[in-house]
């Protein structure tokens, strides 16, 4: 009787993303993030769909962005990446977008700049001083406004525009894994958790 060999291996997951704006798009399209995703057996589909503002990530508009993502990238899974901003909680953002529209909705608290603040290594490199913030996601003001006021108080060069600051952080070596190691950066932890979950799908070959 012939012996049947069954090989089980992780299937490459094609992940499409709809993002809130230019900063998120720059991060997702960066070589760092693509290499990190590849280490989890995830391919980041191109183009990343830019909603150009959180106001466009509402239930009556999200369908068009999801359709464009499916049409232009042919993904296996779709994530939405957005900010908390002034919403009372993450669940309110998910309800606004419509949780049935994507495989995961990643909500950075309060904004993606909080992830940069959580990465003390890249922040210390940028500021040229030892830096650590205990609660990067619970800053009273918006994280970007905190960065402006902090650099002004320290007589240092400010962050510039949102997107230029994101690109600067990426160039200096920002790490989502390091941000997620911060105990008070739970949204970065959640993002990595959801990436690892979709990377666990298996393909059976006989």
pTM of the full structure: 0.87
Between strands 13-19 and 49-50, the pairing is parallel
Asked if residue 1 belongs to a domain, the reply is no
| CA dihedral of residues 21, 94, 72, 74 (deg, nearest 10) | 140
Q: pLDDT tens, position by position, for the chain (206 residues)?
A: 454 433 444 579 999 999 989 999 999 999 999 999 999 999 999 999 998 876 656 666 788 888 999 999 999 999 999 887 767 678 877 777 776 778 999 988 889 999 999 999 999 999 999 999 999 999 888 999 999 999 999 999 999 999 999 999 999 999 999 999 999 999 999 999 999 999 986 543 33
Residues 6+ apart with CB under 8 A from 23: 112, 113, 162, 163, 165, 166
- Six token digits for residue 152: 């002004």
pLDDT attached to residue 58: 63
Asked if residue 7 belongs to a domain, the reply is no
Asked if residue 190 belongs to a domain, the reply is yes
Asked if residue 135 belongs to a domain, the reply is yes
198 contacts 103 by C-beta, under 8 angstroms: yes
pLDDT attached to residue 73: 92
Asked if residue 5 belongs to a domain, the reply is no
Asked if residue 66 belongs to a domain, the reply is yes
Segments forming the whole domain that contains residue 167: 12-198
Asked if residue 6 belongs to a domain, the reply is no
pLDDT attached to residue 88: 67
pLDDT attached to residue 56: 58
CA triplet 135, 185, 43: central angle to 5 degrees? 155
Asked if residue 104 belongs to a domain, the reply is yes
Domain count of the fold of the chain:
1
């Amino acid at each position: 009787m012939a012996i049947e060999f069954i090989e089980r291996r992780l299937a490459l997951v094609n992940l499409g993303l709809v993002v809130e704006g230019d900063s998120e798009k720059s991060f997702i399209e960066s070589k760092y993030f693509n290499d990190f995703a590849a280490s989890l057996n995830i391919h980041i589909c191109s183009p990343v769909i830019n909603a150009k503002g959180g106001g466009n990530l509402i239930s009556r508009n999200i369908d068009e962005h999801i359709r464009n993502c499916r049409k232009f990238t042919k993904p296996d899974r779709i994530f939405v990446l957005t900010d908390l901003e002034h919403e009372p909680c993450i669940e309110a953002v998910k309800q606004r977008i419509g949780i049935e529209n994507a495989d995961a909705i990643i909500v950075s608290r309060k904004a993606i700049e909080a992830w940069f603040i959580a990465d003390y290594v890249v922040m210390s490199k940028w500021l040229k001083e030892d830096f650590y913030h205990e609660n990067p996601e619970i800053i009273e003001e918006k994280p970007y406004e905190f960065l402006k006021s902090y650099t002004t108080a320290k007589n240092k060069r400010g962050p510039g525009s949102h997107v230029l600051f994101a690109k600067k952080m990426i160039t200096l070596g920002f790490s989502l894994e390091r941000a997620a190691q911060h105990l008070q950066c739970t949204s970065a932890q959640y993002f990595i958790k959801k990436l690892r979950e979709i990377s666990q799908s298996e393909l059976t070959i006989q």
